[in-house]
Amino acid sequence: MENGSGSDPWIAPDKLYHVLFCLFLTLLFSFAASRTRYPFLRRHSIRLGSIASLLAGAAKEAADQFGIFPSAGASAKDAVADVIGVLIAAGGLACCKPVKRPELDTLPVPARAVSMV
């Protein structure tokens, strides 16, 4: 990781790319998880999308550190930008997610007691 030198400014196109990359990955993974036939994945689609996006961001930072991509190495500021992108996407998804209400047809009918006199 880089130290706090001036070679990695907070306001840079690179940080915007990190925010947008993780934002769109969160939306993509969350959308994919919400379309599966498994209820557990649908129920936790925002969390799963966020985790998958953060893992992708961490993998990119690890690749930067090992020199796979042409960059100065891993940066804590890039990781913060990744988290900001995930938080924006997760917040937007949480606000726009419809609240599921049980249908009236599927509600159980309460049993009535029968009195035999």
Give me the number of domains the chain comprises: 1
pTM of the predicted structure, to 2 decimals: 0.74
Range of the domain at 80: 13-97
In a domain, 115, yes or no: no
Question: Contacts for 74-81 with beta carbons within 8 Å, 24 or more apart?
Answer: 74/1, 74/2, 75/1, 75/2, 75/8, 76/1, 76/2, 77/8, 77/10, 77/15, 78/8, 78/14, 78/15, 78/18, 81/15, 81/16, 81/18, 81/19, 81/22
In a domain, 114, yes or no: no
In a domain, 30, yes or no: yes
In a domain, 117, yes or no: no
In a domain, 65, yes or no: yes
In a domain, 103, yes or no: no
In a domain, 31, yes or no: yes
pLDDT at residue 15 tops 60: yes
In a domain, 111, yes or no: no
100 vs 40 pLDDT, higher one: 40
53 vs 96 pLDDT, higher one: 53
